Chain A
Amino acid sequence: DSGVTQTPKHLITATGQRVTLRCSPRSGDLSVYWYQQSLDQGLQFLIHYYNGEERAKGNILERFSAQQFPDLHSELNLSSLELGDSALYFCASSVGPWDNEQFFGPGTRLTVL
């Protein structure tokens, strides 16, 4: 158990819908990272927050947004969902803004029908 929690574990929804994925980092970790993993794309970095502020953006679509709240939990919002958004979404946390090992959560499996 990494200490990172993600909810929900599974999510099934329809195209065009909007969903919110939630992540609670390990106690004491200030950084939260979001990744998308699909079979044909591998693990893709989406976005990184450190202590409430956005630090880096990766291959995140404009339909996706995220934030980190004062209590350090983070939410990833996915809207206007498409079939291709079906994937495993991982959240990871680390102590500092970089140069640290990342602890990954169990993931949320999103299926868009």
Chain B
Amino acid sequence: SQKIEQNSEALNIQEGKTATLTCNYTNYSPAYLQWYRQDPGRGPVFLLLIRENEKEKRKERLKVTFDTTLKQSLFHITASQPADSATYLCALDNNNNDMRFGAGTRLTVKP
């Protein structure tokens, strides 16, 4: 069956460190993968999209990698700040015009 797994339910790091979140998938052949941020009680907010032929993408302090051989995406936040504390969701499309989301990783950045 198809699965999207995000490495851990919760991740706690110290301010200034790099947070690394993992998204693994099975039985999908996604054309692209997206990362979203969600704050409690609010809708997800788009962060980055990476296509299957791209290895890496960056946006300010964010970096995402996509390894279709390992079936894995890594999401990095460098120089993390308490304001980065949120739940981060990976999502992928299977070329079926729908998007499937992982359960998310709740990141807490401590001052």
Interface residues of A (CB under 8 A from B): 2, 4, 33, 35, 42-45, 48, 50, 55-58, 88, 90, 92, 97-99, 101-107
Contacts and interface: CB of A to CB of B under 8 A. Distances in A.
B32 A99 contact: yes
Given A42-B103, A98-B93, A48 B98 contact: yes
Contacts of A45: 98-101
B89 interface: yes
B45 A56 contact: no
B93 A99 contact: yes
SS class, residues of chain A in contact with chain B: strand
Interface of B: 31-32, 34, 41-46, 49, 89, 93, 95-104
SS class, residues of chain B in contact with chain A: loop
Given A42-B102, A42-B104, A103 B46 contact: yes
Given A55-B97, A88-B41, A104-B43, 12 more contacts: A33-B99, A35-B101, A42-B102, A43-B101, A45-B98, A45-B100, A45-B101, A56-B98, A97-B97, A98-B97, A104-B44, A105-B43
Nearest to A40: B103
Contact of A101 (B46, B96, B98, B100): B46
Contacts of B98: 33, 45, 48, 55-58
A48 B98 CA distance: 7
A56 B99 CA distance: 9
